[in-house]
C-alpha cells in the first residue's frame, strides 16, 4: 500500500512585500501549502497565481486571527514589519508593529506547536561604524526601526529557549528584488530619470542582498537543526561601492554612467542647512545631515558565519538581481500603459 504524503504548511507574514512574495512563490513551487498574511488583499492578488496559497487579510495585533492561521503550520516566516515609515513616525509606532506584533505571533506559534520560526531582522541593530559587522559585533541601533527589530529578536530567541520552538534570526542589509519599494527602487528611478548624483568619491561600500538569496537562506535555516537559536547575517558575497551599484543600474537601463559628483563637504553643509531650516520653520526638506552621512558611509556586514556553518552561498549576483528588478518594473509599466 502506497504511503500517503503529507503536505507541509507554512505561514508567511508580510507576504505581499518583496521578501514575502519571493518566499511565498518558492514555498508554493516546492509543494508547501502557504498561509499568506497580508494587510490589504487588494495589494496581494498576485500571490494567488502561485497555487496552494490562502490569502488572509489581517494585522499582527489580532491574536485570535494569528492563532487561527498558525494552527497546523509547520513553519512560520515572519517578514512583516514597519520599515519605510513616513517622516515623523514615532518610536511607539515602531514598537507596536515590530515588537508587539512579533510577540503576538511568537505566542501563537508556541501555543500551536509550530516547529520552526524564522525572523527577518536587520543590520540596523549594529552601530554606524566603518568596520565590518558580524554576529559578535556590539549591537547599538541608531534608529527606532533598528531598536524595535533588536527587541523583537530577543522575543523570538527567548521563546526558543523557554518553549523549544526552533527559532532563527536573519539580519539583512539592503534587500533588492521585484516589489521592492525602498532605497534601491528609488535609486533605479532616479537614474532612469537622470536625477542621480554621486555623493563624495563614490567609493564607499554597502552590503546588499538579492531577494532570491534571502529566500535561499530562509529555506535553509528553517530545516537545519544547526540553526536552532542562532543569529545569522545574510548578505551577498561582497559589498559594493556606490559607483558600482549606480553604474550597473545605468548599464542595465541603457543610461549614461557619467554621473554628476557632489563634493562631500558641500553635501554636509547643505544637510546641516536643511536641518536648521527644519528646526526654525518646521518644514521637512528631503535632504538632511543624517541622510548625507548615510549616503557617504560604509555599511558592511559579513555572512561568513552562515557560509561556514550551513554552507550558504549567494547564487544571484548584483547584476542578475538588479536585472530582474528592472525587467519586472518594465513589465509592470507596459501593463499599466495597456490598461489606460
Alpha-carbon torsion 79, 99, 227, 115, what sign? negative
Cα–Cα distance measured from residue 42 to residue 38, given in angstroms and rounded to the nearest whole number: 10
Confidence of residue 85 (pLDDT cuts 50, 70, 90): low
- Could you identify the residue written with the cell 522575543? 155
State pLDDT tens for residues 96-155. 999 999 999 999 999 999 999 999 999 999 998 878 999 999 999 988 999 999 999 999
Q: For the residues 150-175, what does the mean pLDDT come to?
A: 97
Domains for the chain: give ranges and CATH numbers.
9-180+207-236 (3.40.50.720)
State pLDDT tens for residues 287-306. 778 778 777 889 999 999 99
State pLDDT tens for residues 10-28. 999 999 999 999 999 999 9
**Does the pLDDT value for residue 82 go beyond 50?**
yes
Cα–Cα distance measured from residue 13 to residue 78, given in angstroms and rounded to the nearest whole number: 5
Crossing angle of helices 63-70/101-111, nearest 10°? 40
State pLDDT tens for residues 225-235. 999 999 999 99
pLDDT at residue 251 in the model: 97
**Cα 130–Cα 133–Cα 134 angle in degrees, nearest 5:** 165
- pTM of the prediction? 0.91
Cα–Cα distance measured from residue 10 to residue 33, given in angstroms and rounded to the nearest whole number: 6
Q: For residue 307, with 0-12 CB atoms within 10 Å meaning exposed, 13-18 middle and 19 or more buried, which class applies?
A: middle
**Does the pLDDT value for residue 178 go beyond 80?**
yes
Amino acid at each position: 500500500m502506497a504511503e500517503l504524503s503529507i503536505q507541509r504548511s507554512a505561514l508567511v507574514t508580510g507576504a505581499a512585500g518583496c521578501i514575502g512574495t519571493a518566499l511565498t512563490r518558492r514555498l508554493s513551487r516546492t509543494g508547501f501549502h502557504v498561509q499568506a498574511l497580508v494587510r490589504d488583499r487588494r495589494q496581494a492578488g498576485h500571490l494567488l497565481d502561485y497555487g496552494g496559497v490562502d490569502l488572509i487579510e489581517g494585522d499582527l495585533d489580532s491574536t485570535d486571527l494569528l492563532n487561527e492561521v498558525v494552527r497546523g503550520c509547520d513553519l512560520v516566516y515572519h517578514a512583516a514589519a514597519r520599515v519605510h515609515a513616513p517622516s515623523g513616525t514615532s518610536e511607539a509606532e515602531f514598537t507596536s508593529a515590530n515588537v508587539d506584533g512579533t510577540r503576538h505571533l511568537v505566542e501563537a506559534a508556541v501555543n500551536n506547536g509550530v516547529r520552526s520560526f524564522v525572523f527577518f531582522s536587520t543590520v540596523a541593530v549594529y552601530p554606524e561604524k566603518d568596520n565590518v559587522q558580524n554576529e559578535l559585533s556590539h549591537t547599538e541601533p541608531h534608529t527606532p526601526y533598528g531598536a524595535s527589530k533588536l527587541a523583537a529578536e530577543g522575543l523570538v530567541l527567548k521563546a526558543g529557549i523557554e518553549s523549544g520552538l526552533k527559532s532563527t534570526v536573519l539580519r539583512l542589509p539592503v534587500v533588492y528584488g521585484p516589489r521592492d519599494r525602498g532605497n534601491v527602487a528609488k535609486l533605479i528611478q532616479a537614474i532612469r530619470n537622470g536625477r542621480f548624483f554621486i555623493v563624495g568619491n563614490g567609493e564607499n561600500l554597502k552590503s546588499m542582498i538579492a531577494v532570491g538569496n534571502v529566500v535561499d537562506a530562509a529555506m535553509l535555516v528553517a530545516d537545519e537543526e544547526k540553526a536552532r537559536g542562532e543569529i545569522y547575517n545574510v548578505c551577498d558575497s561582497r559589498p559594493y561601492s556606490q559607483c558600482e551599484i549606480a553604474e550597473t543600474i545605468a548599464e542595465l537601463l541603457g543610461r549614461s554612467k557619467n554621473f554628476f559628483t557632489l563634493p562631500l563637504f558641500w553635501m554636509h553643509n547643505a544637510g546641516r542647512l536643511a536641518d536648521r531650516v527644519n528646526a526654525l520653520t518646521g518644514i521637512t526638506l528631503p535632504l538632511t545631515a543624517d541622510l548625507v552621512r548615510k549616503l557617504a558611509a560604509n555599511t558592511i556586514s559579513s555572512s561568513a558565519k552562515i557560509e561556514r556553518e550551513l554552507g550558504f552561498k549567494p547564487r544571484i549576483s548584483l547584476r542578475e538581481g538588479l536585472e530582474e528588478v528592472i525587467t519586472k518594473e518594465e513589465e509592470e509599466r507596459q501593463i499599466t500603459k495597456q490598461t489606460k
